[in-house]
Chains A and B, each alone.
Chain A
Amino acid sequence: MTAIAFTRPATSAPRAIERATGEARWIRWTLTGIALAFLTLTLVLPLVLVFHEAFAKGLSAYLDAIREPDALSAARLTLLIASIAVPINLVFGVAAAWCISKFEFRGKYLLMTLIDLPFAVSPVISGMIFVLLFGMHGWFGSFLFDHDIKIIFAVPGMVLATTFVTAPFIARELIPLMQEQGTEEEEAAIVLGADGWQTFWRVTLPNIKWGLLYGLILCNARAMGEFGAVSVVSGHIRGETNTLPLHVEILYNEYSFAASFAVASVLTLLALVTLALKTIVEWQQRRAAAEQAAANDELERIAA
């Protein structure tokens, strides 16, 4: 055996075994190419098209479409609805997350399933159920009619429908997060003499701030962009019961394509901002988690 002469290969060991568990290079490039082509077709093209069509008639036409009175009132209404629906769901989300994650009780899983329900329901049905409740022939229909209270085909109905549709967002974000964080820190605070509110503000809230922000961003995006549910309850009265998405629909159906896309481009910008914020928050969450892990390792090292 020792008589065999070994010489070094002329080149350093080639990439043949670069990664024992990798695919061949050409496979990797092909798969990546197909994936990117699919994403371009599915996601990028529509995005580019929105802005292309929005400016199809030039910049001044674009600005006119956005500044048009009906468009502006649609924008105001969209903001109004979001500014009501999101805070309500914030309170609900935090309350639900608190009792589910910090306590044990029977029916917990039932509660969690109920919270998920609006996710599973079609937007049109989400609007329809409020028509069934408050519409002319609904449960409370005659009562409302007698007292001249308008809910359906008016703003209150739209707020209700939007609130229903966006209800789970914040809760779903907070519940797993708070469950993972456990109850130790809060218990420590109580033992040290803090009351409920102080514990929440000073101990819980800082820990969940990124998850909460994330949920808020998603909830807001959905609240402003909701179409189906709001369409059912709104009555489509121009200048009064139209949100931005509904306004887009009206313009499109009237063949005012450029104007329609102009308004749509505003919503698209909102979506892109949402994505950017989401990415930032995720990055912060990862950083916080990594810092925590590093701190734990350091503690273990010192203790060892």
Chain B
Amino acid sequence: MSIQVRNLRKTFGDFVALDDVSLDVPGGELVALLGPSGSGKTTLLRIIAGLEAADQGSIHFHGEDATVQPVRERQVGFVFQHYALFRHMSVFENVAFGLRVRPRADRPSEAEIRATVMGLLTLVQLDVLAKRRPSELSGGQRQRVALARALAVKPKVLLLDEPFGALDAKVRKELRRWLRRLHEEVHVTSVFVTHDQEEALEVSDRVVIMNEGRVEQSGTPEAVYEAPATPFVYGFLGDVNLFHGRLHQGRVSIGESELDAPEWSEVRNQVGQAFVRTYDVQLHGSPRNGALPAVVRHIHSFGPVVRVELELVHDRRTIEAHLSRHQYAQLAVTKDQRLYVVPTKVKVFAKDAT
């Protein structure tokens, strides 16, 4: 079932959580809402679920207006950050809950409930723990129970609120892969909220990046990473360097150098920002055209990638370059060495674009 969000606005007192947000989630897709704290992603998720009401705007499920429908009737499955398992019930009873509270007429028989629950528990690989209490399970196991419980009522939409936020790094990675595989088996329209960009890019079919209550960009992980639409997105995804300069008629001047910026050909004498990924920064031992002089300040040479911190001579700002060990050895980089920085694959924004 697809979701259409139109012009949502939500404030909490003076704080604007969502500011005219519109979004389309095609049926069967796994969509990530990505952004820093306060970006409005959790609020958006909860409004879709019906746990909060928007001040303005509408929500439609598959074209039908669900804006004022109570959460009970929306047939959404919700997985909470801290699991919200029923502590006094066993794992089995937790998963069976949604089936047990159905009105008499719709309620499945005991045998059917058992079959559905055990089937789901097998799917999440927890069938042997059916009789345990939530307090006896690890965090990862609890989250899987929460997932099974949400799926038991065959929801049209699955919503997950930072589902792996409360788990440690290793378990998070495992569950990420596992969620992806689960989605490929079950194919329910799913939306999950995260602040972890690696998670969003790895797991989802589509990423929606939010900031300060607005959607910055929406697209496939590749599209969003390779072609960021705004400075915020650029800065949020991946490690990036920021060069400050002036834009004038299609060229941007940074220090002594000038680079082409054809998309800004109309602009005259404006402050601009140039974004360059850390691995797109080339370092050279001798001066050349378009290179910016810089001095090496720190070298972090552990791990597969060597991180070199340099201070630009012209404005004393710090930038970071990532080199492979091979490049590092070839350049024979040392502290306080003077090197020449050539930014490649530069993305330029005029200052008032932010």
In the complex the two chains form, what is the Cα distance from A7 to B65 in whole Å? 10
Count of A interface residues, CB-CB < 8 Å: 15
Report chain A residues within 8 Å CB of B71: 17, 20
Q: Does A15 contact B (CB under 8 A)?
A: yes
Check if B4 sits within 8 Å of A6, measured CB to CB: yes
In the complex the two chains form, what is the Cα distance from A119 to B177 in whole Å? 58
Report chain A residues within 8 Å CB of B52: 17, 20
The interface stretch among B56-64, B97-105, B303-311 is B56-64
Q: Does B152 contact A (CB under 8 A)?
A: no
CB-CB contacts of A9-36 with B at 8 A, as 1s and 0s?
A: 1001111111010000000000000000
Check if B58 sits within 8 Å of A8, measured CB to CB: yes
Check if A13 sits within 8 Å of B55, measured CB to CB: yes
Residue of B2, B24, B60, B67 near A13 (CB, 8 A) is B67
In the complex the two chains form, what is the Cα distance from A272 to B65 in whole Å? 56
A to B contact number (C-beta, < 8 Å)? 56
Report chain B residues within 8 Å CB of A9: 58, 65, 67-68
In the complex the two chains form, what is the Cα distance from A1 to B70 in whole Å? 24
In the complex the two chains form, what is the Cα distance from A85 to B55 in whole Å? 61
Chain A interface SS verdict (over half): loop
CB-CB contacts of B1-30 with A at 8 A, as 1s and 0s?
A: 010101100000000000000001010000
Q: Does B115 contact A (CB under 8 A)?
A: no
Residue of B6, B51, B62, B69 near A6 (CB, 8 A) is B6
Report chain B residues within 8 Å CB of A8: 6-7, 56-58
Report chain B residues within 8 Å CB of A16: 53, 68, 70
Check if B57 sits within 8 Å of A17, measured CB to CB: no
Which residues 30-69 in B have Cβ within 8 Å of A in the complex?
49-58, 60, 62-63, 65, 67-69
Residue of A nearest to B68 (CB): A16
Known: A13-B53, A15-B53. A20 touches B70 (CB 8 A): yes
**Measured between C-beta atoms, what is the minimum distance from B74 to chain A in Å?**
10
Q: Does A120 contact B (CB under 8 A)?
A: no
Report chain B residues within 8 Å CB of A15: 53
In the complex the two chains form, what is the Cα distance from A8 to B54 in whole Å? 12
In the complex the two chains form, what is the Cα distance from A114 to B232 in whole Å? 66
In the complex the two chains form, what is the Cα distance from A8 to B57 in whole Å? 6
Check if A12 sits within 8 Å of B2, measured CB to CB: no
Report chain A residues within 8 Å CB of B26: 1
Interface hub of A1, A4, A18 (most chain B Cβ within 10 A) = A1
Residue of A nearest to B51 (CB): A20
In the complex the two chains form, what is the Cα distance from A12 to B70 in whole Å? 15
Report chain A residues within 8 Å CB of B53: 13-18
Check if A17 sits within 8 Å of B60, measured CB to CB: no
Check if A20 sits within 8 Å of B4, measured CB to CB: no
**Measured between C-beta atoms, what is the minimum distance from A160 to chain B in Å?**
46
Check if B50 sits within 8 Å of A20, measured CB to CB: yes
Residue of B nearest to A14 (CB): B68
**Measured between C-beta atoms, what is the minimum distance from B4 to chain A in Å?**
7
Report chain A residues within 8 Å CB of B60: 4, 6
In the complex the two chains form, what is the Cα distance from A16 to B67 in whole Å? 10
Check if A12 sits within 8 Å of B55, measured CB to CB: yes
**Measured between C-beta atoms, what is the minimum distance from A12 to chain B in Å?**
5
**Measured between C-beta atoms, what is the minimum distance from A16 to chain B in Å?**
5
Report chain B residues within 8 Å CB of A1: 2, 4, 24, 26, 62-63
Known: A1-B2, A20-B71. A12 touches B50 (CB 8 A): no
Residue of B nearest to A7 (CB): B58
Which residues 280-335 in B have Cβ within 8 Å of A in the complex?
none
Report chain A residues within 8 Å CB of B50: 17, 20
Check if A13 sits within 8 Å of B4, measured CB to CB: no
**Measured between C-beta atoms, what is the minimum distance from A15 to chain B in Å?**
7
Report chain A residues within 8 Å CB of B6: 6, 8
Check if A13 sits within 8 Å of B63, measured CB to CB: no
In the complex the two chains form, what is the Cα distance from A14 to B53 in whole Å? 8
Residue of A nearest to B57 (CB): A8
Report chain A residues within 8 Å CB of B7: 8
**Measured between C-beta atoms, what is the minimum distance from A263 to chain B in Å?**
50
**Measured between C-beta atoms, what is the minimum distance from B58 to chain A in Å?**
6
Check if B68 sits within 8 Å of A4, measured CB to CB: no
**Measured between C-beta atoms, what is the minimum distance from A6 to chain B in Å?**
5
Report chain A residues within 8 Å CB of B63: 1, 4
Residue of B nearest to A16 (CB): B68
Residue of A2, A7, A17 near B68 (CB, 8 A) is A17
**Measured between C-beta atoms, what is the minimum distance from B93 to chain A in Å?**
20
**Measured between C-beta atoms, what is the minimum distance from B16 to chain A in Å?**
15
Report chain B residues within 8 Å CB of A7: 58
In the complex the two chains form, what is the Cα distance from A2 to B49 in whole Å? 22
Check if A13 sits within 8 Å of B70, measured CB to CB: no
Report chain A residues within 8 Å CB of B65: 9
**Measured between C-beta atoms, what is the minimum distance from A23 to chain B in Å?**
13
Report chain A residues within 8 Å CB of B4: 1, 4, 6
Residue of A2, A6, A13, A20 near B54 (CB, 8 A) is A13
In the complex the two chains form, what is the Cα distance from A6 to B62 in whole Å? 12
**Measured between C-beta atoms, what is the minimum distance from B291 to chain A in Å?**
38
Selected A-B contacts with CB under 8 Å, 25 pairs: A1-B24, A1-B26, A1-B62, A4-B4, A6-B6, A7-B58, A8-B6, A8-B7, A8-B57, A9-B58, A12-B55, A13-B55, A13-B56, A13-B58, A13-B68, A14-B68, A16-B70, A17-B51, A17-B52, A17-B53, A17-B68, A17-B69, A17-B70, A20-B49, A20-B51
Report which A residues bind B (CB closer than 8 A). Answer: 1-2, 4, 6-9, 12-18, 20
Q: A1-B4, A6-B60, A12-B55 are in contact. List 13 more A-B contacts (CB 8 A).
A: A1-B26, A2-B24, A4-B4, A4-B60, A9-B58, A9-B68, A12-B54, A13-B54, A13-B57, A17-B68, A17-B71, A20-B70, A20-B71
Give 6 nearest A-B pairs by CB, closest first. A20-B51, A20-B71, A6-B6, A16-B68, A17-B53, A13-B53
